[in-house]
C-alpha cells in the first residue's frame, strides 16, 4: 500500500482521533509498486505514518486540502470484517436509543465522521437503504458497504446508490454514480414507481407515513434530521394557524396536523415537493380541510401574504443551506436576517417561530446574531424558548466538531 509520512508533530490531531489529514501536514508520499502515475489515485486506501515511522491509521486518499480521511486508527490495513462491524455498531446505537420500532422505520444509519466513516451517508426508509458517497474512496467501496448493510440490518432488502451530486466534481469516477447496488427482491426503478403509484410504498416516522422518493427527491429523498424538531412543533401546534415555509415533502406539516393545528399552510418552490406534500397529507389525514399547499418562492409568498394582511400563530422556516462554502457566509447571514425579519413581522402577538439553518459554515453564534438582527429590525420583543440541533442519529464525533451543522431557535414573539 502507498504510505503517507507526516511532518514532525503533525500526528497529534490523529492521535486525538480527528479523522482528517490535511495536505500541508504531509512530508512525503511513498507510492506502492503498482503505480504508474507520480501521485496516489483518488480513492486509494493509504497508510499514514508519523515522521518517526509510527503507524497512525489507514484511510482514503483524496485530492484537495483534506488529503486523507482516516477509516481506522492505529492499524495498517482494514480487517475483512471492517464494514460489517462498523455498520453493526452504528445500528446498535440507533437500536439502543429507541429509533427502531414498528412505527419508526426511517432513520439515518451512517452519518459520516459522526459514525467514524468519513465520506459516507446511509439513510434507511423501511426496506430500502439509500447510500451516498462524498468521497471517491467510499465510491470505490460501495458494493462492500451495500453487502454489509444487507447482512447487518434485517429490515433492509434493497440498497440504492445516489451520489450524483455528492462525489467530487472533477474526480475520475469508474462505474455508475446512481442506481441499485443490491435488490434481492428484484426491485427496480419501474417497480418502485409502480409501488408508489399503487399507494404501496410508505416509510414510517413516529407513526406518520411518508412517501419517500429517493429516485427523484432531494438528497437521499427525505430530511430525517428534523424528526425531533418536528415532534416539538406537534407539541405547540394545538389551535394554531401554522405556516410551514420551505416544507419540502411536508414533514413539519404532518406533525402540526396531528398536534391539532387549526390550519396549516405548506410552501415550497418545488412543484414536485408540493405534489408529495399533498400525497402525504391525503394519506395521513384524508379529506382534511385544514391543510393547503402552495408552490411558491418564500420571499414572494411572505410579501404577498403581508400585503393581504395575513398573519400566523406559528411559523417554521427551514431553508436550504444559504452558505455552501465559507466564502458565502456573509451573504448567507444577510439572507437569514431577511427571511427571519419577514417571518417575525407576520407572527401574531404571542406566536412562535421555529427557525433553522443547516449551513455547516454558519455557526450557532452567527446564526443567532442574524436572527437577533432580524428581531431588532422588526422591533418585536423576542425570547428564545429552545435551542435546537441535529438529532441523535446524526451524531457529532467529539473529536470532529465540524460535524455540527443543523441549528435552530424556537422564539416566542410578543
Ligand atoms: N423542512 C423540510 C426540509 C426543507 S429542505 C423537511 O422537514 O423535510 C429546503 C426546501 O426549500 C427544499 O424543499 C427546496 O425546494 C425549498 N426551497 C429552496 N429555495 C426556495 C425558495 N426560494 N422558496 C421556497 N422554497 C425553497
User: How confident is the model at residue 184, as a pLDDT?
Assistant: 66
Which of 358, 374, 375, 410 is catalytic? The answer is 358
Distance CA 378, CA 242 (A): 20
Tell me the β-bridge partners of 20. Answer: 69
358 flagged as catalytic: yes
User: How confident is the model at residue 187, as a pLDDT?
Assistant: 62
- Ligand 1 pocket check: which of 217, 319, 336, 388 to mutate, most ligand atoms within 8 Å of Cβ? 319
- Going by DSSP bridges, is the β-strand pair 45-49/2-6 parallel, antiparallel, or unpaired? parallel
User: How confident is the model at residue 320, as a pLDDT?
Assistant: 95
| Cell numbers that stand for 25 in this block | 501536514
Nearest atom, ligand 1, residue 316 CA: 1
Q: Which residue from 114, 190, 108 is spatially nearest to 403, judged by alpha carbons?
A: 114
User: How confident is the model at residue 193, as a pLDDT?
Assistant: 72
Q: Which residue from 142, 80, 65 is spatially nearest to 110, judged by alpha carbons?
A: 142
User: How confident is the model at residue 188, as a pLDDT?
Assistant: 67
Rg value, the chain, Cα: 23
Nearest CA to ligand 1 atom 13: 248
Q: Which residues contact 248 (CB under 8 A, 6 or more apart)?
A: 218, 223, 268, 270, 273, 277, 318
Nearest CA to ligand 1 atom 22: 297
| Cell numbers that stand for 402 in this block | 465540524
Do 314 and 354 contact (CB within 8 A), yes or no? yes
Residues in the chain where the model's pLDDT stays below 50: none
Per-residue DSSP letter, 74: T
User: How confident is the model at residue 171, as a pLDDT?
Assistant: 83
Distance between Cα 270 and ligand 1 center (Å): 8
User: How confident is the model at residue 286, as a pLDDT?
Assistant: 96
User: How confident is the model at residue 36, as a pLDDT?
Assistant: 74
Q: Which helix (H) or strand (E) holds 341?
A: helix 329-345
Distances (CA, A) of 409 to 127, 232, 332, 389, 393: 34, 12, 17, 9, 20
Distances (CA, A) of 171 to 62, 66, 95, 174: 9, 14, 36, 10
Do 382 and 349 contact (CB within 8 A), yes or no? no
Q: Virtual CA dihedral for 106, 107, 108, 109, nearest 10 degrees?
A: -100
Cβ–ligand 1 distance for 205 under 6 Å, the answer no
Distance CA 59, CA 64 (A): 15
Cβ–ligand 1 distance for 255 under 6 Å, the answer no
User: How confident is the model at residue 35, as a pLDDT?
Assistant: 79
Distance CA 21, CA 5 (A): 11
User: How confident is the model at residue 185, as a pLDDT?
Assistant: 61
Q: Dihedral sign, CA of 359, 362, 364, 367? A: negative
**Phi and psi dihedrals of 179, rounded to 5?**
145, 175
Amino acid at each position: 500500500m502507498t504510505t503517507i509520512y507526516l511532518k514532525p508533530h503533525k500526528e497529534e490531531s490523529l492521535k486525538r482521533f480527528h479523522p482528517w489529514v490535511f495536505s500541508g501536514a504531509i512530508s512525503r508520499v511513498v507510492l506502492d509498486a503498482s503505480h504508474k502515475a507520480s501521485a496516489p489515485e483518488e480513492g486509494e486506501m493509504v497508510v499514514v505514518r508519523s515522521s518517526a515511522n509510527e503507524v497512525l491509521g489507514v484511510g482514503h486518499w483524496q485530492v484537495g486540502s483534506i488529503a486523507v480521511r482516516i477509516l481506522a486508527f492505529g492499524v495498517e490495513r482494514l480487517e475483512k470484517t471492517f464494514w460489517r462491524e462498523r455498520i453493526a455498531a452504528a445500528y446498535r446505537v440507533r437500536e439502543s436509543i429507541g429509533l427502531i420500532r414498528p412505527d419508526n422505520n426511517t432513520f439515518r444509519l451512517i452519518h459520516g465522521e459522526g459514525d467514524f466513516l468519513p465520506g459516507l451517508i446511509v439513510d434507511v426508509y423501511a426496506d430500502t437503504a439509500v447510500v451516498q458517497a462524498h468521497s471517491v474512496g467510499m465510491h470505490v467501496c460501495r458494493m462492500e458497504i451495500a453487502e454489509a448493510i444487507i447482512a447487518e440490518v434485517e429490515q433492509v432488502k434493497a440498497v440504492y446508490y445516489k451520489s450524483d451530486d455528492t462525489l467530487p466534481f472533477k474526480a475520475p469516477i469508474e462505474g455508475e454514480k446512481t442506481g441499485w447496488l443490491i435488490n434481492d427482491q428484484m426491485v427496480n426503478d419501474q417497480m418502485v414507481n409502480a409501488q408508489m403509484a399503487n399507494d404501496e410504498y410508505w416509510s414510517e416516522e413516529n407513526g406518520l407515513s411518508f412517501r419517500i422518493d429517493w429516485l427523484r427527491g432531494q438528497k437521499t429523498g427525505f430530511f430525517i434530521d428534523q424528526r425531533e424538531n418536528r415532534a416539538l412543533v406537534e407539541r405547540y401546534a394545538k389551535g394554531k394557524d401554522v405556516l410551514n415555509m420551505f416544507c419540502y415533502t411536508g414533514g413539519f406539516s404532518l406533525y402540526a396536523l396531528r398536534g391539532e393545528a387549526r390550519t396549516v399552510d405548506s410552501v415550497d418552490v418545488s412543484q414536485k415537493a408540493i405534489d408529495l406534500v399533498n400525497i402525504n397529507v391525503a394519506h395521513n389525514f384524508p379529506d382534511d380541510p385544514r391543510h393547503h399547499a402552495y408552490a411558491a418562492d418564500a420571499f414572494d409568498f411572505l410579501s404577498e401574504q403581508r400585503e393581504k394582511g395575513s398573519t400566523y400563530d406559528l411559523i417554521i422556516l427551514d431553508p436550504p443551506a444559504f452558505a455552501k462554502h465559507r466564502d458565502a457566509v456573509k451573504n448567507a447571514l444577510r439572507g437569514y436576517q431577511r427571511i427571519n425579519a419577514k417571518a417575525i413581522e407576520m407572527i401574531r402577538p404571542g406566536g412562535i417561530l421555529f427557525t433553522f439553518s443547516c449551513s455547516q459554515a454558519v455557526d450557532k453564534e452567527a446564526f443567532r446574531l442574524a436572527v437577533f438582527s432580524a428581531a431588532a429590525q422588526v422591533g418585536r420583543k423576542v425570547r428564545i424558548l429552545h435551542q435546537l440541533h441535529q438529532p441523535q442519529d446524526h451524531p457529532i464525533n467529539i473529536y470532529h466538531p465540524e460535524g455540527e451543522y443543523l441549528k435552530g431557535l424556537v422564539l416566542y414573539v410578543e
